[in-house]
Amino acid sequence: MGSKASDSAMLKTWRRNPPSSSLVRLSQLANDKYESPPFSSGGHNWRLVVYPKGNEADNGRGFVSMYVECLSSTTPPIDVFAYLTFFVFSEEEKRYLSIQVLPFHKFSWSIRDFALLEQNDCVSKTFHMGEKDWTLKLYPKGDSEADDKLSQHLHLADGETLSKGELIFVRVNLQVLDPRGSNHLKGWLKGWIMNSNKEMGLPQSMSFDKIEGAYLDREGTLEVEIECEIENSHKNHPFF
């Protein structure tokens, strides 16, 4: 039985049309920091801040670090949610390139001799997601609440705590791979992690007999993939 984990995935996107909001041309990158003239978007004023050699204070050495700074101020202060995508124009490709690190964690399990399995749970290595450390558990034969049905649980790692009013909304996607085609079994769970509930589990509609009958390869191995991501969070919720 073995598992592999990937902390994040990288998505590269090309487009021929220039960005519709703000286009900044940098001709001299000799300085360590560049600040663009102010521009307006969404009713607020902004400016682009670029560190051509990387912002060492943010572990960006060896990379081009880019930020957008909000110049608007209100009384009282309010939070401004902005969705940002940076595009870099390639003279060679004549297109705009965007690179995004996708904030999900992907695990793959190879469960050998599934039909003869005596161990009831498969435990992942501790991984970092958001601001917390987590552990993922897979119960191939079901947990205490769902006998004979594959179940998955997401836990805060040992030693992790949540402050009063802190809530984290997480989603976990599960896929049992079809070794002979593309008829994969899919399941999911989502919900809030809080002080009164530091773990989340859900049985899937995947019985042991169904998996054993159609989803084991010639060596009797079951292949499972699981993705975890944080969809929302609160630091100081007034009711928790």
**Which of these ranges, 177-181, 217-221, 224-228, has the smallest mean pLDDT?**
224-228
Model pLDDT, residue 178: 92
For residue 163, is pLDDT > 70?
A: yes
Model pLDDT, residue 7: 45
For residue 205, is pLDDT > 60?
A: yes
**pLDDT confidence bin for 14, thresholds 50/70/90:** low
**pLDDT confidence bin for 16, thresholds 50/70/90:** low
Measure the CA–CA gap between 1 and 5, rounded to whole angstroms: 14
Pick one of 2.60.210.10, 2.40.30.10, 3.10.129.10, 3.40.50.720 as the CATH number of 2-6+104-234.
2.60.210.10
Measure the CA–CA gap between 208 and 214, rounded to whole angstroms: 10
Helix (H, G, I), strand (E, B) or coil at 55: coil
Q: Where in the chain is the domain with CATH 2.60.210.10?
A: 2-6+104-234
- How high does pLDDT run on average in the chain? 79
Measure the CA–CA gap between 139 and 122, rounded to whole angstroms: 6
- Which structure tokens are listed for 192? 């809030």
Q: Are 24 and 48 in contact (CB under 8 A)?
A: yes
Using one digit for the tens of pLDDT, what is the confidence trace for 62-72? 888 888 888 87
Taking the CA of residue 141 as centre, how many other CA atoms within 13 Å lie in the half-sphere pointing to its CB? 9
32 or 78, greater pLDDT: 32
**DSSP per-residue codes, 152-171:** EEEEEPTT----TT-EEEEE
**pLDDT confidence bin for 9, thresholds 50/70/90:** very low
87 or 193, greater pLDDT: 193
